[in-house]
Amino acid sequence: MSQVYFDNAATTAIRPEVLERMIEVMREVPGNPSSTHAVGRKAKSIIEQARKTIAGYLHVTPAEIVFTSGGTEADNLIINSAVRDLGVRHIITSPIEHHAVIHVVEHLQLAYDIKVSHVNIKECGSVDLEHLAQLLEASDEKTLISLMHINNEIGNMLDLETVAKLAKEHNALFHSDMVQSVGHFDLNLSEIPVDFIAAAAHKFHGPKGVGFAFLRKNSKIKSLIFGGGQERGSRAGTEPVHNIAGMETALIKAQEHLAEERAYIEEIKWYFKEQLEQHIPDVHFNGNCGDGTKSTYTLLNVCLPVPEDKALMLLFQLDLKGIACSKGSACQSGSDQGSHVLNAFLAKDKLNKPSIRFSFSHENTKEEVDYVVATLKDFIA
């Protein structure tokens, strides 16, 4: 095969309908949405309709959706403003968060001298909710909980309802990076009292460079970027109308085909797992990714029985064979450092072996799975 793309957790291919919509907007709607003339008003109406559509799928109000350049900016906007503007003096997070959260928390700890607590991680890679409750009980300062819904490397799912309940009981704010879940799950934020979420269009077959933050009504989050008064003062800068329209179309299509595509992708995932177990003895699945009830259906993080001296060549060989995958998150796949997620809970004997993240979409096939398994089998042999 010339190309097998099993790195959908890093980014997904744009759906044809999304690309068509973006080209249509770029061709027919040249106006600046801040302009008051008819051409500008048309651009503005596209943005507001997209805001209404996205809010509808999340069961929130359009005013609670703020468009950003992606998930990283949304995370930064929320966490920075929580400390700078909302009086947060204590952040409770985990060592397995995305670096968009980890690094901004590290910065705020130095810049504002805030307290940072890390929730313990269980042997399966999940957040210890009992420890979270203990940290909240001991906290006597205004607290922000920042825990991702679906881990981007191992697929473990957070119990949002329980965390939101704990946050409410202890008068804490709750932020969740939902980059890996928006567009892949039905999310009703009217029933889950999370205060803030971050999302990115390119994770659900939309364009790169656009995403959104959900800011619960009356949260008083203030802009991270200064300039014009766009996004009701929450995010300055001329909005990329074509990208926002593309994100809207991507979410519409994701929700329309959610049930059928989820069933198809789950079939691909479990077929891949079965084939690995059948053809590669001693294969191990990191975290809860091998459990259909505790992880997302879109990825497998696989620890392979390869000696350390040979492990360095694995991704190179897969790439030569046209197979795209990651040794961790895409943000780390070019680094010599190991995955901070796996380092947080894996035993040393597993850390010395290569772990590869394979992530799937509706465009993948069982034939591609067979090719990847055969390639891995040959390499190990």
Is the separation of the CB atoms in 53 and 246 below 8 Å? Answer: no
Span 280-309, mean pLDDT?
94
Would strands 143-146 and 90-93 be described as parallel, antiparallel, or unpaired? parallel
Residue 349 confidence class, pLDDT cut points 50, 70, 90? confident
- pLDDT tens readout for residues 20-68: 999 999 999 999 999 999 999 999 999 999 999 999 999 999 999 999 9
Residue 330 has pLDDT above 70, yes or no: no
Residue 309 has pLDDT above 90, yes or no: no
Q: Which two tokens stand for residue 201?
A: 């269009």
Predicted local confidence at residue 307, as pLDDT: 86
Residue 308 confidence class, pLDDT cut points 50, 70, 90? confident
Question: What 3-state class would DSSP assign to 135?
Answer: helix
Phi and psi, residue 197, nearest 5°? -135, 160
Tell me which of 103-112, 119-128, 130-139, 350-359 is least confident.
350-359
Q: What is the CATH number of domain 16-256?
A: 3.40.640.10
Query: Rounded distance, CA 262 to CA 371, Å?
Result: 22
Predicted local confidence at residue 72, as pLDDT: 98
Rg (CA), the chain: 21
- pLDDT tens readout for residues 230-262: 999 999 999 999 999 999 999 999 999 999 999
Average pLDDT, the chain: 95
Predicted local confidence at residue 312, as pLDDT: 82
Distance between terminal CA atoms of the chain?
20
The class level of CATH for 4-12+258-380 reads: alpha beta
- The sign of the torsion formed by the CA atoms of 305, 306, 311, 313 equals negative
Predicted local confidence at residue 352, as pLDDT: 87
Q: Please state, in angstroms and as integers, the Cα–Cα distance from residue 122 to each residue in 94, 148, 261, 341, 342, following that order.
A: 11, 15, 31, 12, 12
Helices 366-380, 258-279: inter-axial angle, 10-degree rounding: 30
- Biggest distance spanned by C-alpha atoms of the chain: 67
Predicted local confidence at residue 311, as pLDDT: 84
Residue 299 confidence class, pLDDT cut points 50, 70, 90? very high
- pLDDT tens readout for residues 116-165: 999 999 999 999 999 999 999 999 999 999 999 999 999 999 999 999 99
Residue 331 confidence class, pLDDT cut points 50, 70, 90? very low
Q: Which residues are catalytic?
A: 331
- pTM for the predicted model, two decimal places: 0.95
Residue 372 has pLDDT above 70, yes or no: yes
Tell me which of 61-70, 214-223, 292-301, 321-330 is least confident.
321-330
Percent of the chain with pLDDT over 70: 97
What is the per-residue DSSP string for 88-120? --EEEE-TTS-HHHHHHHHHHHHHH--EEEE--
Residue 328 confidence class, pLDDT cut points 50, 70, 90? low
Nearest CA among 102, 298, 67 for reference residue 200:
67
Residue 329 has pLDDT above 60, yes or no: no
Domain boundaries of the chain, sorted by first residue: 4-12+258-380, 16-256
Residue 332 has pLDDT above 60, yes or no: no
Q: With the CA atoms of 57, 62, 195 and 181 taken in that order, what torsion angle do they form, in degrees rounded to the nearest 10?
A: 30
The answer to whether 4-12+258-380 and 16-256 have equal CATH topology is: no
Is the separation of the CB atoms in 95 and 121 below 8 Å? Answer: yes
